[in-house]
Every structure is written in C-alpha cells, then in structure tokens.
Structure 1
Amino acid sequence: MKRILVVEDDKAICDLISINLEIVGYKVYKASDGYLAKKLVEEKSLDLILLDVMLPKIDGFTLISQIKNKNIPTIFVTAKESVLDRVMGLRLGADDYIVKPFEIIELIARIEAVLRRYDASPQNFIFKNIEVFYDQRIVKLDGELIELTYKEFDLLMLFIQNKNIALSRDQILEKVWGFDYAGETRTVDIHVQRLRDKLNLKDDIKTVFKVGYRLEG
C-alpha cells in the first residue's frame, strides 16, 4: 500500500482528498501546517507528498527545499496559479503542479503517473559485497544485516548514487542533513568514518584533499 502525506491547512479540502485517496487504496497521513509536515517526513516512510504552498509555520516552497534530500515525489496542490508560481514549484523539485479547484479524478491520475515514474527506478542497490534495500532501509554486508543510523543510511545512498564523483562536505551536508542544518562539516567526517568501519569501506571511500569524499568502484 502506497503512503501519501496530504499537507493542507483547509480541513474540508484535506478531508476530501484524504477520503478519496483512501477509497482507491492509499494509506494517508495528514498535516495542517509545514512544521507538522516536516516532522512526519522525518518519522514516516512516504511514497508521495501532496503539498499546498500557502501553509502556516513553514510555507510549501520553503518546505520542499528543506526536505529535498529525502527524494520523496511531491505534487503541489495550490490556489497559486500564476506561471511564475508554477515555474518556482517545478524548479524547486516538484514532480507536478495542480491548481485549485481541481477534479479528484485528475488528481488521482496525476498521482498514479508520478508513482509510475518512480516505481520504474531501481529500489535495490549492490556495491561489491554490500546490498542496499532502499524501501526497507536495510543494508547487508556479505549477507549479514548491518545496523545503520538514519543519516548513515542516507549518506551511503548518496555515495552509491554518485559513485566515482567527488562530493564536497558542504554538498553532503546539504543532501543528507538538509538546507537548514546548523552543524559543521566535522559531522560529515564522523559519519564517513562510521560507514568505513561498519561496511569495510576504508579503501573505497576516498578522501579528496581539500574537497570531501568519493566512493570508488
């Protein structure tokens, strides 16, 4: 069952969308403001987000930037109908942009189209003797389960998806910890060392002098 987060501060619209999505077989989570939505993104395993733009606490454009590193398909569902708003939403990483009012049948069709695109991409990855099961967030080394923290898993995925590419510490912070992270690049060094130790990657994750790190393979 696919899991969809509906982020909408108008209760009537939120309920209408949620009921119809549940009828066609989706598991639905609801958030009435950007802060709660961000919290749910951190806590839940989501397949898609329906996101309003004009939200309390954190607006939709800001929120999509803050959760960009999660790589969750996102469709804006909003009353902001200008071309500039649509362009802004798509440039920020949205997969689609629907203007209110809309027909539920069209919304469901758009959701199905976005999910099909993502389902076509591989969900499992293999690097040498390491198996990564993306949906389950499971990592195995020589067939043995290895316990990784949430950030260690995201960091491993970033390296695998950018194999043989040098990534700066700032790029890693942005992709794994998000735009609003207030820490320092030393955090990256610590997590890289943990991955090297847990997955025997000492010879594979190379330190790039004055830049950051590169996974070679």
Structure 2
Amino acid sequence: MNKKCLIYVVEDENDLGDLICNTLSQFYFDTKYYSNGSEAELSIASKSPDICIIDLTLPDMDGIDLIRRLQHKNIGIIIVSGRDALTDRVLGLELGADDYITKPFEPRELVARVQSLQRRIQTRSEKPVNTQQYAYFSGLTYHPGSLTLNADTPQQETLSRAESDMLMALLKNPFQILSRDQLLGENTVPYDRSIDVRVSRLRKKIQPKNTTSTLIKTVYGAGYMLVSEVKWHG
C-alpha cells in the first residue's frame, strides 16, 4: 500500500534530506529529494506527489512561498524546520500545511506523521466529492469539487484543503457542536492553536458582509458550531 505513496523531500541540508528519504524508504514509501524549491516546483508541475515534506529555509526561496503555491493542490504538506517562531507555525497552518515538525526530530516520529497523513489522504480518495454538488448557506454557495466559495462573484474565495475539510464537517452538521477532534480528524497536529488558527481564517472567508455576526460559533469547552441552515444541491 505504501509503495503507491510518492513523497518529495525539499530540504537544503543534503545529509538530512538523505536521512529522511532513506528512513521513509525503509517503510516502503517512494521518495525523491530536492535541495531547493525551484527544482521541486518544476518536478511537481510534471508529476504531482502525494505528500511534500518542506523545509522553510531553502537556498532559493522561503519554504512558505512554496507552500503558498501548493495550497490549492491536492498534496499533503508537512513542514520540517528549525524555525519554531509562532508566526511561522501559524502562517504554515493558515496556508494549509497538514503538520509542522521542529528540528531536531526523531526520524521515526516523522514516519509516524507521514503515515497518519497518508491515511487521511486515502480516506478522502475513497470518498470522492460529487463535483456537481454544492451547498447554499446564509447567502453563500460552496462548491467542494473546486474548493470555491461564491464562485463567479467578486467575493469569490478559494479555500485550502484543510479549510475545505473543516467547512464540510460544519456544513454537514449545522447547529451541532463539533469538537476539535471532529473538525480536525486525522489532521490533528501537535500544536494546540492549530484549530483556532484554521477556524479564524475560515470565519474571515465566510463572514457575512456588513455585519459583525459570525456563522461559526465558539462553544467554550465543547467546540464549534455552524449557526446557519444549509441546503445541498446537485
């Protein structure tokens, strides 16, 4: 099963890049190593991997810029970086990264994170989205097939994969309290603000115009709830 999972490792330290690739290969993952972002981006355009492991400090670009360009592609992203500043963690998660690991780390821990992300990707592929289906709520339309909110309008927004997963969970369970684990599922990362960051970003994208009300209500100590009727079409 793991042989079908292709992983690109984008890391400027050759020794660490080789270590990551060799460790993953022991668990039957196919890997390709790139020492800079430009080469990785060209390869991704030619053949898209299942997962990218990206260092933030690359010789030719900031890894955040590479992640920004990949955020709407169906690629799992794990950040591996010596930068542990809160701003880097928050921005990486906002752009749709699935996990954030700070150097130094145990290679076996990275394998466990990759395996967890792989299970999530496989679960999504086993439940394909109906590309003709869309949800209507509070004057907004969301097309999960294209990750677009309010398509063909000046207010159009494109969601990241992580934001889409969260919004879909809320849309399928309106007026129900969903816990953090229910919203993140196997996308849970060892960073206690990950859910807050993603909910905050999603709130901004679906915020009704000219109003201070919020469609995603925080239920303290319990989770979050979408306070809107939802109609599905298609």
Answer yes or no: same fold by TM over 0.5. Answer: yes
Amino acid at match of 2:82: A
Please name the residue that 1:105 is paired with.
Answer: 108
Residues 170 and 66 of structure 1, relative CA distance in 2, 3 Å threshold:
farther
What SS does the aligned partner of 2:124 have? coil
Partner Cα distance (2:156, 2:32) in 1: 29
Paired residue for 1:52, among 48, 55, 68?
55
Residues 62 and 171 of structure 1, relative CA distance in 2, 3 Å threshold:
farther
1:168 and 2:152 aligned? yes
Tell me the C-alpha RMSD between the 2 structures. Answer: 2.8
Greater relative contact order (CA < 8 Å, ≥ 6 in sequence): 2
What SS does the aligned partner of 1:5 have? strand
Amino acid at match of 1:92: L
Partner Cα distance (1:38, 1:170) in 2: 30
Q: How does 1:42-191 map to 2 (within 5 A)?
A: 42-123=45-126, 124=128, 161-162=145-146, 166-168=150-152
Partner Cα distance (2:68, 2:90) in 1: 14
Residues 83 and 31 of structure 1, relative CA distance in 2, 3 Å threshold:
same
Aligned residues: 148
Please name the residue that 2:167 is paired with.
Answer: none
- Cα offsets for 1:137-176 (capped at 9, x unmatched): xxxxxxxxxxxxxxxxxxxxx966159964138888978x
- Cα offsets for 1:105-160 (capped at 9, x unmatched): 100001111111221113545568xxxxxxxxxxxxxxxxxxxxxxxxxxxxx966
Paired residue for 1:19, among 17, 22, 42?
22
Amino acid at match of 1:10: E
Partner Cα distance (2:145, 2:12) in 1: 35
* TM score, norm. by length of structure 2: 0.56
Amino acid at match of 1:38: E
Partner Cα distance (1:19, 1:163) in 2: 35
Name stretches of at least 5 consecutive residues in structure 1 with no aligned partner: 129-157, 176-215
Residues 168 and 26 of structure 1, relative CA distance in 2, 3 Å threshold:
same
Name stretches of at least 5 consecutive residues in structure 2 with no aligned partner: 133-141, 160-232
Partner Cα distance (1:164, 1:86) in 2: 25
